[in-house]
Amino acid sequence: MNDSTTIVMGIIAMLLPVFAGRLVWRRFDQYFGRNDEAYQDTLPYFLKKIGATALLAFVLLWIGMGVVFNTQ
């Protein structure tokens, strides 16, 4: 790959986890919230939400950077 392609793919690989994490953060209540406001306001629920978002973002970042800097 040339330098321009590497830069563009690097930018995409860094922004993709941000957008995917934001999507998970917004949709987490819909999937795991049990439609219970009292449950959604608890610390364990909030920690699960942060954990799921961070895990997805870091995995996507790891994969993206692996694709960008693959030297084969």
* Domain ranges for the chain: 14-68
Q: How many CB atoms lie within 10 A of CB 67?
A: 12
pLDDT of residue 71: 61
53: left (phi over 0), alpha (psi -120 to 50) or beta: alpha
pLDDT of residue 23: 94
pLDDT by residue (tens digit) across 3-61? Answer: 888 889 989 999 999 999 999 999 998 888 878 888 889 999 999 999 999 999 999 99
Question: 24, exposed or middle or buried, with CB in 10 Å at 0-12, 13-18, 19+?
Answer: middle
Q: How many CB atoms lie within 10 A of CB 57?
A: 19
pLDDT of residue 21: 93
pLDDT of residue 68: 87
Q: What is the pTM for the complete model shown?
A: 0.82
